[in-house]
Amino acid sequence: MAQRILTGIKPTGQLTLGNYIGVLRDLPKMMDKGECIFFIADLHALTLPIDPEVLRQNSIDLASFYLAAGLDPEKVTLFLQSSVSAHAELNAIMQNYLYMGELSRMTQFKDKSAKMKESAIGLGLFAYPVLMASDIILYDSDVVPVGEDQIQHIELTRDLVNRFNNRYGPVLKEPHYQVRKVGARIMSLSDPTTKMSKSDPKGDIYLKDDMKTVRKKIMSAVTDSGSEVKYDPENKPGISNLLTIYAVLSDISIEEAEKRFVGYRYGDFKKAVADVVVAELEPFQQKYQQIIDNKEYEKALQIGAKKAEAMARPVLNRVKKAVGLLDI
């Protein structure tokens, strides 16, 4: 059987260049490497308060971004997580095999909940990794391409799989994460020691930003002392982040990128970075707009949900049987 490649993106705030470089840009290349299962993690988006209209709009946007990146809906399975009820059903089973201690050690939970009053932290936020593990297990996934921040969740999924299989026999497939060697953690432009995330308007480049804004944000990105364009994440986090963005979008190595900018001043270097980002995002946005105008996402998501359902159901049934749930 062809290997199964699965990933999801949450339709919370606007998608960033971090999401794009970390995963989205690479997905079309995977169409020939295996069976691709890509989804909109809309149930996960409910783990923090979100306006219903915003969630609807973000979900449409995200589906269109997947397609604009170059995915062929005939070749991949693209769907809304909430359209395939097996995700929630498997979640109800799997929540019994992950424990409070390990869930409370998840960095993403600690980061998100640190800013909240305990009385406002939903159970779904705490149990987030259970649903994510269920997403992965449900399709017998082999490979899960993600950015660096999601590795911990996939390791937890692997622990869950081993724990479950030790108890019930070889029921679940063990997944592996796949992260980019370069670009697995794009940093904020305003504070290059923190990750670029959907909720940081100053430090983010949003995939929907107009080109003037994109240029402005890059030109005012925080740089470092000194004047050399060198890759040194510890001492030059700002320049290193821009070099990473440049190298990935130009499909060259960091070393090659460094060589191109020997003797450059920071300002000229930033201009070159802005040029490659604009060259990438401009056609991407045009495709996105066309997909939105023609509502191409609708058909793709309908077909995708059917295909996903057909793949998920046998796995769910296997799990139900293993734990002793009757099939009458």
Q: Which residues of this protein are in contact with ligand TYM, per CB under 6 A? A: 6-10, 18-19, 21-23, 41, 44, 132, 135-136, 144, 146-147, 149-150, 184-186, 195-197
Residues 6+ apart with CB under 8 A from 17: 186, 196, 204, 205, 206, 207, 245, 277
Identified catalytic residue from 10, 29, 110, 195? 195
Least Å from the CB of residue 87 to ligand TYM:
9
* Sequence letter at residue 298: E
Contact 137, 173 (CB under 8 A): yes
Cβ proximity to ligand TYM, 185 vs 215, nearer residue = 185
Structural tokens at position 116: 């909240």
Identified catalytic residue from 33, 75, 117, 198? 198
H-run or E-run covering 37? strand 35-40
Q: Is 259 a catalytic residue?
A: no
Cβ proximity to ligand TYM, 131 vs 291, nearer residue = 131
Least Å from the CB of residue 280 to ligand TYM:
15
Least Å from the CB of residue 303 to ligand TYM:
20
Cβ proximity to ligand TYM, 38 vs 269, nearer residue = 38
Least Å from the CB of residue 5 to ligand TYM:
10
Q: Is 216 a catalytic residue?
A: no
Least Å from the CB of residue 294 to ligand TYM:
25
Identified catalytic residue from 112, 271, 287, 307? 112
Return d(Cα 222, Cα 229) in angstroms, integer.
Answer: 13
CA–CA distances in Å: residue 62 to residues 70, 149, 207? 13, 19, 10
Cβ proximity to ligand TYM, 9 vs 247, nearer residue = 9
Cβ proximity to ligand TYM, 73 vs 147, nearer residue = 147
* Sequence letter at residue 210: D
Residue number with the smallest Cβ distance to ligand TYM: 22
Q: Is 195 a catalytic residue?
A: yes
DSSP string across 61-108 = HHHHHHHHTT--TTTSEEEEGGG-THHHHHHHHHTTSS-HHHHHT-HH
φ/ψ of 317, rounded to 5, equals -65, -35
Which residues are marked as active site? Answer: 112, 195, 198
